């Protein structure tokens, strides 16, 4: 499975970038799965709803199925790799983009905007592969232009070795 993290501080534009990348990957005929990671804990369902009650009563997994969607609620231990349980759901994907989850083990690209965070994360991390930005920066890491989505997709495909 090919995975890549898009990391950066809050409001750096990670989600917007991922949406633009998805459009380009899809136009090229690639199937790309996504995972949004958050360090916060909160319920994904509403208390009192039947699906919530199934999970609260010990359903493991617990799922909800509607006319056009499905969701599966899987418990997760704090330090558990989420892909250990999610991998079968992404089996047919050419690539999985993970928004966040900076502690994850896969290749990471940092989205950086000087106006949002003057100090990029790569300064304190050694696992960032490249910086996606349109701002000027001094670094030995590759700088990939944020506004050129087709070029970004080419760079990502090369990095994760998809031809």
Residue 90 has phi, psi (to 5 degrees) of -110, 15
Average pLDDT taken over every residue of the chain: 91
Q: Which of 102, 129, 101, 135 is nearest to 117 (CA)?
A: 135
pTM metric for this prediction: 0.88
The whole-number average pLDDT for the span 46-66 is: 89
Question: What secondary structure, in 3-state letters, does 19-72 show?
Answer: HHHHHHHHHCCCCEEEEECCCCCCCCCCCCCHHHHHHHCCCCCEEEECCCCEEE
Task: Supply 23's token pair.
Answer: 């459009």
List, in order of start, the domains of the chain with CATH numbers.
3-37+82-159 (3.40.50.300), 42-75 (no CATH)
Q: What confidence score (pLDDT) does residue 26 get?
A: 97
What does DSSP assign to residue 107?
E
Other CB atoms within a 10 A radius of the CB of residue 52 amount to 17
Q: Which of 40, 38, 35, 7 is nearest to 22 (CA)?
A: 35
Q: Which of 59, 1, 9, 12 is nearest to 35 (CA)?
A: 1
131: three-class secondary structure by DSSP: strand
pLDDT digit string (tens) for 15-40? 999 999 999 999 999 999 999 987 76
């Amino acid at each position: 499975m090919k995975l890549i993290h898009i990391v950066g501080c809050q409001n750096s534009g990670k989600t917007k970038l991922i949406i633009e990348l998805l459009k380009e990957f899809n136009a090229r005929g690639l199937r790309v799965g996504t995972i949004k990671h958050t360090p916060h804990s909160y319920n994904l369902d509403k208390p009192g709803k039947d699906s919530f009650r199934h999970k609260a009563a010990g359903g493991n997994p617990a799922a909800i199925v509607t006319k056009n969607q499905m969701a599966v609620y899987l418990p997760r231990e704090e330090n558990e790799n989420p892909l250990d349980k999610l991998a079968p759901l992404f089996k047919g994907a050419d690539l999985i983009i993970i928004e966040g989850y900076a502690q994850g083990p896969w290749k990471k690209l940092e989205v950086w905007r000087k106006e949002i965070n003057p100090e990029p994360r790569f300064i304190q991390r050694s696992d960032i592969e490249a910086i996606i930005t349109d701002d000027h920066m001094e670094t030995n890491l590759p700088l990939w232009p944020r506004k050129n989505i087709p070029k970004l997709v080419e760079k990502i495909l090369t990095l994760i070795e998809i031809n």
